Amino acid sequence: MTTISDVSAPAPGPAAAPIPAERRGDHRGSWIPTWGMVTTRLMELRKRRGLMIALAIVYIGIPVIFLAVRLVSHAVAPHSYGPAGGYNIFTTLVAGFMYTFGFIVAATVGCTAGSVDLTEGMFRHLVITGRSRLALYFARIPAGLAIVIAMVAVGYTIVCAVCVFAAPTQLSYDGVTVPQGLSRPALDSWAASHADEVICNFNFGPGQGLNGPPPSVPCGGGQFSGPPPGATIQTRNGTVTVPAHASQAEIRAFAVSVANQDYRDYSTQFLVPSYSLMIETGLWISLVAVAAFVVGLGLSSLIGQRTVPVVILIVWELILTPALSIHLISHLLNVQRGILGLALGHIEPGGLPLPFGPGGGGNGPNGHTLLPESTLVASLVIVGWLVVWTALGAWRMATRDA
């Protein structure tokens, strides 16, 4: 019997070669960095111990030394030196130090991360590996931010802890012990019962609802408030002569008018920063650090070195931003609204003073000192800076000759 094979069956061919295990899942052309790339970039930055120690001393060491000196001074001589913490110390450190130096520290880390491969001659070797240049660039962002955010978290946590646990127990306003959180009528009542202290110590300007010239009351040390009795002074109501003796009713009325004039400023003073203010401030200075890092990373990648971008960003933050953010230039208003520092100032928590000038932040009591700008526009400006500088840095990385 003859057997006929199925002619439709394909002829046997060589077996398919197995894919090596090390090549499975190899995404070298992907722009998304792998975890190994991120950890490698992180290790490169951490190994620059001199730079990391210097930045930690600047951002963490200086506040620690400042607070330690205040703690020791208050413990040794509590009547001569006030408490180490409190609301005023918190706002001073955050707006006066941590904002500015956080920007500089984050920008320095960003400039280092964006240029370390070029300055050490490793860029050619990274390109030879076949990894996507975009992935090489994007890997630096989480690696650098891990260092920056860690420094910000440590320094800010120390400041918050001292300001809360070493806060004063009584509110001192203009050198006078005043109860905290009084309403306007309650402050008026307190001022009427402490009229001499209010008139001698509270700050007040001419006019603005005051009941005539300040009466002459004893302020200690042989000093008296106001012009001497019998003096002739010019007021908005005409020329008046200071009476030789003011009645108690007139003194109390003047003290109440002073308290009314100062109430807006008094209402912003607290013994300790609130939890909501500390959380909002922590998020805000973290955003400042992120923005500074991204700009520094993109600028250093664009220029190809670290020193010049660091100098540019320091000058920009310490000189140009304060000048352009506060002083209005009529023909450049829209340009000024596009300044990163101005946008960050507008979203600053309202309980803080303006970092680069007098007054409060964008939501604070004196936020009008800033160039007028909505919160939405300020947010879009910040996002624009992050996107543009990331795009410029990635583009330069992708087009640079190896």
In terms of domains, do 162 and 311 share one? yes
What is the spatial distance between Cα 256 and Cα 276, in angstroms, rounded to a whole number? 32
Q: Confirm if 361 and 348 have CB atoms less than 8 A apart.
A: yes
What pLDDT sits at residue 239? Answer: 62
Q: What backbone torsions phi and psi does residue 104 show, to the nearest 5 degrees?
A: -65, -45
What is the spatial distance between Cα 392 and Cα 174, in angstroms, rounded to a whole number? 50
Give per-residue pLDDT as tens, 78-133.
888 888 899 989 999 998 899 999 999 999 999 999 888 777 767 666 666 667 88
In terms of domains, do 151 and 180 share one? no
What is the spatial distance between Cα 134 and Cα 171, in angstroms, rounded to a whole number? 55
Residue 348 is assigned to a structural domain of this protein: yes
Helix spans in 219-361 (H): 248-266, 275-303, 307-315, 321-326, 333-337, 340-346
Q: Confirm if 272 and 164 have CB atoms less than 8 A apart.
A: yes
Residues near 236 by Cβ (< 8 Å), separated by ≥ 6? 207
Residue 19 is assigned to a structural domain of this protein: no
* Residue, of 14 and 200, whose pLDDT is higher: 200
In terms of domains, do 309 and 355 share one? yes
Instruction: Examine the fold and report which residue of 233, 266, 299 is the final residue of a domain before the chain moves on.
Output: 266
What is the spatial distance between Cα 242 and Cα 227, in angstroms, rounded to a whole number? 7
Total residue count of the chain as it appears in this document: 402
- How many CB atoms sit inside 10 A of residue 88's CB? 19
What pLDDT sits at residue 363? Answer: 43
In terms of domains, do 45 and 140 share one? yes
Residue 249: both structure tokens together: 């009713």
Give the domain extent around 189: 172-266
In terms of domains, do 120 and 179 share one? no
Residue 22 is assigned to a structural domain of this protein: no
What is the spatial distance between Cα 202 and Cα 198, in angstroms, rounded to a whole number? 5
Residues near 337 by Cβ (< 8 Å), separated by ≥ 6? 343, 371, 373, 377, 381
Share of the chain above pLDDT 70, in %: 78
In terms of domains, do 151 and 70 share one? yes
Residue 401: both structure tokens together: 């000759």
Give per-residue pLDDT as tens, 57-74.
999 999 999 999 999 999
Region label for 86, one of left (φ > 0), alpha (ψ between -120 and 50) or beta (otherwise): left
Residue 207's pLDDT band (cuts 50, 70, 90): low
In terms of domains, do 46 and 177 share one? no
As a whole number, mean pLDDT of residues 152-160 equals: 96
Give per-residue pLDDT as tens, 310-325.
999 999 998 888 888 7
In terms of domains, do 251 and 276 share one? no
In terms of domains, do 181 and 68 share one? no
Burial status of residue 183 (CB atoms within 10 A of its CB: 0-12, 13-18, 19 or more): exposed
Does 345 score more than 80 pLDDT? Answer: yes
Instruction: Examine the fold and report which residue of 219, 242, 266 is the final residue of a domain before the chain moves on.
Output: 266
Residue 16 is assigned to a structural domain of this protein: no
Give per-residue pLDDT as tens, 186-199.
988 998 898 888 88
Residue 179 is assigned to a structural domain of this protein: yes
Give per-residue pLDDT as tens, 233-285.
555 555 666 666 677 887 888 888 888 888 888 888 888 998 999 999 999 99
In terms of domains, do 319 and 378 share one? yes
Does 205 score more than 80 pLDDT? Answer: no
Q: How distant is the alpha carbon of residue 84 from its chain centre? A: 21
In terms of domains, do 163 and 291 share one? yes
Residue 260 is assigned to a structural domain of this protein: yes
Provide the number of structural domains found in the chain: 2
Closest CA to 42 of 151, 129, 146, 148: 146
pTM for this one?
A: 0.79
What pLDDT sits at residue 364? Answer: 44
In terms of domains, do 145 and 49 share one? yes
Instruction: Examine the fold and report which residue of 237, 266, 295 is the final residue of a domain before the chain moves on.
Output: 266
Helix spans in 194-247 (H): 195-201
Residue 52 is assigned to a structural domain of this protein: yes
Residue 23 is assigned to a structural domain of this protein: no
What is the spatial distance between Cα 296 and Cα 109, in angstroms, rounded to a whole number? 8
